[in-house]
Structure 1
Amino acid sequence: MNFRRVLIPLLLLVLGAHQAAAQVSVDLRFGKSSFLHGEPIPITVSLTNLTGRDLKFQGTTESAWIDFIVNSTRGVPLTAVSKPAFGAVVIPAGKTVAKTVDLASLYSFRELGNFSVYSIVRLPGQGHRGYQSRRHLFTVSSAKPHWSQVVGVPGKPGKTHEYRLIQFTGDTKNQLYAQVADAKTGAVIRTHHLGEVLMFREPTVTIDGDLTMHVLYLITPTFWGHARINPEGKFLGRDLYKPTNAGDPKLAKNTAGKVITVGGILYDAKAEAEARAKERKASDRPAFIYE
Structure 2
Amino acid sequence: MVGSAAGQISVEIELDQQQFLPGEPLPVAVRITNLSGQPLRLGEDNDWLGISIEGQGNRVVRQLGELPVYGPFTLESSQRATRRLDVAPYFELTRQGRYRMQATVRIAAWDREFVSPPVGFDIITGARLWEREFGVPAAEPGAPPVMRKYILQEANYLKRNLRLYLRITDPSETQILRVLPLGPIVSFANPQPQLDGDSNLHLLFQNGRTTCAYYVIRPDGEIAVRQTWEIVPGSRPRLSFDNAGRVVVVGGVRRYAPTDLPPSLSGSPPQNPGPATNSPPGS
Measured against the shorter chain, the TM-score band is 0.7 to 0.9
Map 1:13-92 to 2 at 5 A: 22-60=7-45, 63-86=46-69, 87-92=71-76
Q: Report the more deviating stretch, 30-39 or 81-90.
A: 81-90
Q: Residue 195 of structure 1 corresponds to which residue in structure 2?
A: 183
Map 1:97-108 to 2 at 5 A: 97-108=81-92
Q: Residue 169 of structure 1 corresponds to which residue in structure 2?
A: 156
- The CA RMSD over aligned residues, in Å, is 2.6
Give the C-alpha shift of residue 20 in structure 1: 10
Identity %: 24
Residue deviations 1:215-267 (CA, integer Å, cap 9, x gap): 11111113210112222333334211122333211111223332221213222
TM-score normalized by structure 1? Answer: 0.80
TM-score normalized by structure 2? Answer: 0.82
Residue 84 of structure 2 aligns with an amino acid whose one-letter code is T
Give the C-alpha shift of residue 91 in structure 1: 1.5
1:241 aligns with 2:224: no
Q: Report the more deviating stretch, 243-252 or 263-272.
A: 263-272
Aligned pairs, number: 257
Q: Residue 159 of structure 1 corresponds to which residue in structure 2?
A: 146
Distance 2:195 2:4 in 1: 60
| Aligned match for 1:149, one of 121, 132, 137 | 132
Map 1:265-284 to 2 at 5 A: 265-269=253-257
Q: Secondary structure in 2 aligned to 1:220?
A: coil
Q: Secondary structure in 1 aligned to 2:181?
A: strand
Give the C-alpha shift of residue 121 in structure 1: 0.6
**Which segments of 5 or more consecutive residues in structure 1 lack a partner in the other structure?**
1-13, 276-291
1:256 aligns with 2:272: no
Distance 2:122 2:5 in 1: 34
Distance 2:100 2:5 in 1: 26
Contact 2:167 2:178 in 1 (8 A): yes
1:133 aligns with 2:103: no
Q: Residue 281 of structure 1 corresponds to which residue in structure 2?
A: none
Contact 1:56 1:124 in 2 (8 A): no
Q: Secondary structure in 2 aligned to 1:178?
A: strand
Q: Residue 3 of structure 1 corresponds to which residue in structure 2?
A: none
Give the C-alpha shift of residue 273 in structure 1: 8.3
1:215 aligns with 2:199: no
Distance 2:238 2:22 in 1: 29
Contact 1:21 1:123 in 2 (8 A): no
Contact 2:23 2:89 in 1 (8 A): no
Give the C-alpha shift of residue 112 in structure 1: 2.9
Distance 1:46 1:184 in 2: 39
Q: Secondary structure in 2 aligned to 1:221?
A: coil
Contact 1:35 1:139 in 2 (8 A): yes
